[in-house]
Amino acid sequence: MQNLTAPALAEWLADNARHAPVLLDVREPWEITTAQIAGSISIPMRDIPARSEELDDDAEIVCICHHGARSANVAMFLESRGFTKVFNLQGGIDAWSRQVDASVPLY
């Protein structure tokens, strides 16, 4: 698992020459309703073991949560399942809101 800062993710998403990653948001549904990064898909952390087969194991996947702890655990789990291009958004959606997109609400 590699850690990725919010500004680095923003640069990646803005780079049209690079394929966009899968933004895997592992927070609870109420958290997604409160704040999210556009284009992310939602699979709550508790559902990842049963639903990891929905993810392309060749894709670059950026795991996202509130502050980065749950997403780090999910990234490690995905790696244990054979995923090789997994990133953790350091500081989570909170860092995204503070460092990249202030229109995404803090909570």
pTM assigned to the model = 0.96
Predicted confidence (pLDDT) per residue in 3-42, tens digit = 999 999 999 999 999 999 999 999 999 999 999 999 999 9
pLDDT of residue 2: 96
65 a catalytic residue: yes
Whole-Å CA distances, 5 to 39, 40, 51:
18, 16, 26
Q: Which domains does the chain have, with CATH numbers?
A: 2-99 (3.40.250.10)
Residue 96 is inside which H or E element, if any? helix 92-99
Q: Which residue in 35, 65, 75, 86 is the catalytic one?
A: 65
